[in-house]
């Protein structure tokens, strides 16, 4: 009899514990009609990234029919794996990934697929064995961005006999934005006998690292006349290092600066003649991802990849109105 009583007690306790667990894991205000999205973001390394996060958060809002689980990976791919596995465990409806680098996604994507959760990739691209592991990608044509910069260089330095020395400041290794912007430059250098890359420095897309590597490079005293910087924040760091070293830059300076992203502050510098060329990279992907998800929900076919249109600005043609009209 004592044994039966004991068993009964254990069963009741387990049952109660079960109820408590399931009600704790359920959010009181959770509205079943909302689409649950887990978004794994690269980090907060740049102004571009902050504008991108703001765009995603405002588009994937409750008013728009979403419940957003946001994870900041702080520039570590391992953190993105953790976030994705966590989203799978929470049984989200969609996983949106802004990948740090192109490779290394096969396993986690397979896990998402096995769980029946579609993955949408945004910004940088992924390279996976089986393309059906993700639904769709939307982002920039980073190679075209690089080519716009090269066209400007070809027009600005037309003399094939005058040596053109370039300092290359690279973003996070293995990120599409780095790979493609670098590729455009490397191909152009191979085509132009008078062009040389004095150094390719790794600035990780951050202002602090950009400053540090350029400051150290300037100590070598190697001359150069073009800075090809793969994002605005690294450019800001490089400008500080150039200021400290007393090297002039911009429209009337010794060093001409090319910068990618075209965030507000960079455009202001361009207007002041401190940056020569700003190549736009559009971070406003939130509404695009929203449209993709809504199309999936409606059972419509979605494109495997979609590129956004981008332009560039030079210090000779930019106007305050152009800057005023921009959202980021
Ligand atoms: O250029 C840089 C950011 O992937 C397009 O990442 C993005 C790049 C952008 O950190 O500022």
pLDDT tens for residues 223-275? 999 999 999 999 999 999 999 999 999 999 999 999 999 999 999 999 999 99
Pair of tokens at residue 68: 């957003």
In whole angstroms, how far apart are CA 286 and each of 40, 47, 166, 231, 255?
A: 13, 16, 35, 21, 36
Query: Same structural domain for residues 184 and 109?
Result: no
Query: Same structural domain for residues 271 and 254?
Result: yes
Domain assignment present for residue 47? The answer is yes
SS3 245: helix
CA of 282 to the centre of ligand 1 (A): 10
pLDDT digits (tens, 9 = 90+) for 95-150: 999 999 999 999 999 999 999 999 999 999 999 999 999 999 999 999 999 999 99
70 contacts 43 by C-beta, under 8 angstroms: no
pLDDT digits (tens, 9 = 90+) for 183-224: 999 999 999 999 999 999 999 999 999 999 999 999 999 999
45 pocket-lining for ligand 1 (C-beta < 6 Å)? yes
CA of 247 to the centre of ligand 1 (A): 27
261 pocket-lining for ligand 1 (C-beta < 6 Å)? yes
**Structural Rg of the chain based on CA atoms:** 24
Which residue CA neighbors atom 7 of ligand 1 most closely? 177
pTM beyond 0.85: the answer is yes
For the CA of 283, the nearest atom of ligand 1: 5
What average pLDDT does this structure show over 157-178?
Answer: 98
The pairing of strands 312-314 and 277-280 is: antiparallel
CA of 98 to the centre of ligand 1 (A): 10
pLDDT digits (tens, 9 = 90+) for 292-323: 999 999 999 999 999 999 999 999 999 999 99
Query: Same structural domain for residues 100 and 117?
Result: yes
Query: Same structural domain for residues 92 and 203?
Result: no
- Residue 197 sits at φ, ψ, to 5 deg, of -95, 115
Query: Same structural domain for residues 292 and 269?
Result: no
Query: Same structural domain for residues 121 and 195?
Result: no
Helices in 90-221 by DSSP H: which ranges? 106-114, 142-156, 176-191, 207-218
Pair of tokens at residue 74: 């702080």
Q: Give the closest residue to 87 by CA, choosing from 42, 59, 119, 129.
A: 119
CA of 152 to the centre of ligand 1 (A): 21
Query: Same structural domain for residues 254 and 180?
Result: yes
Q: What is the CATH number of the domain that holds 57?
A: 3.40.50.2300
Query: Same structural domain for residues 91 and 167?
Result: no
Integer Cα distance of 209 and 207 in angstroms: 6
Query: Same structural domain for residues 78 and 171?
Result: no
Query: Same structural domain for residues 19 and 96?
Result: yes
Query: Same structural domain for residues 251 and 290?
Result: no
328 pocket-lining for ligand 1 (C-beta < 6 Å)? no
- Domain range for 16: 2-138+284-297
Query: Same structural domain for residues 134 and 180?
Result: no
For the chain, what is the domain count?
2
């Amino acid at each position: 009899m004592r044994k039966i009583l004991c068993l009964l007690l254990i069963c009741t306790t387990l049952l109660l514990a079960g109820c408590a667990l399931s009600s704790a894991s359920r959010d009181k205000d959770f509205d079943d009609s909302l689409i649950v999205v887990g978004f794994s973001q690269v980090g907060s390394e740049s102004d571009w990234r902050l504008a991108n996060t703001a765009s995603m958060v405002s588009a994937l809002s409750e008013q728009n029919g979403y419940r957003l689980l946001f994870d900041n990976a702080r520039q570590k791919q391992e953190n993105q794996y953790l976030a994705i596995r966590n989203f799978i465990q929470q049984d989200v409806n969609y996983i949106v990934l802004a990948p740090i680098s192109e490779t290394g996604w096969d396993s986690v994507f397979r896990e998402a697929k096995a769980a029946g959760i579609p993955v949408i990739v945004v910004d940088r691209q992924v390279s996976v064995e089986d393309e059906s592991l993700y639904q769709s990608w939307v982002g920039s044509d980073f190679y075209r961005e690089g080519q716009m910069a090269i066209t400007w260089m070809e027009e600005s330095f037309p003399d094939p006999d005058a040596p053109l020395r370039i300092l290359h400041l690279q973003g996070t290794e293995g990120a599409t934005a780095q790979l493609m912007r670098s590729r455009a430059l490397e191909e152009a250098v191979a085509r132009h006998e008078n062009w040389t890359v004095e150094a390719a420095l790794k600035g990780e897309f951050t202002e602090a690292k950009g400053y540090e590597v350029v400051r150290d490079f300037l100590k070598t005293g190697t001359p150069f006349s073009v800075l090809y910087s793969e994002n605005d924040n690294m450019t800001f760091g490089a400008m500080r290092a150039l200021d400290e070293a007393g090297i002039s830059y911009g429209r009337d300076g010794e060093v001409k600066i090319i910068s990618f992203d075209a965030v507000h502050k960079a455009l202001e510098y361009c207007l002041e003649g401190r940056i020569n060329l700003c190549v736009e990279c559009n971070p406003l992907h939130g509404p695009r991802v929203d449209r993709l998800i809504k199309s999936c929900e409606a059972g419509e076919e979605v494109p495997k990849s979609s590129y956004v249109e981008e332009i560039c600005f030079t210090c000779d043609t930019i106007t305050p109105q152009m800057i005023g009209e921009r959202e980021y």
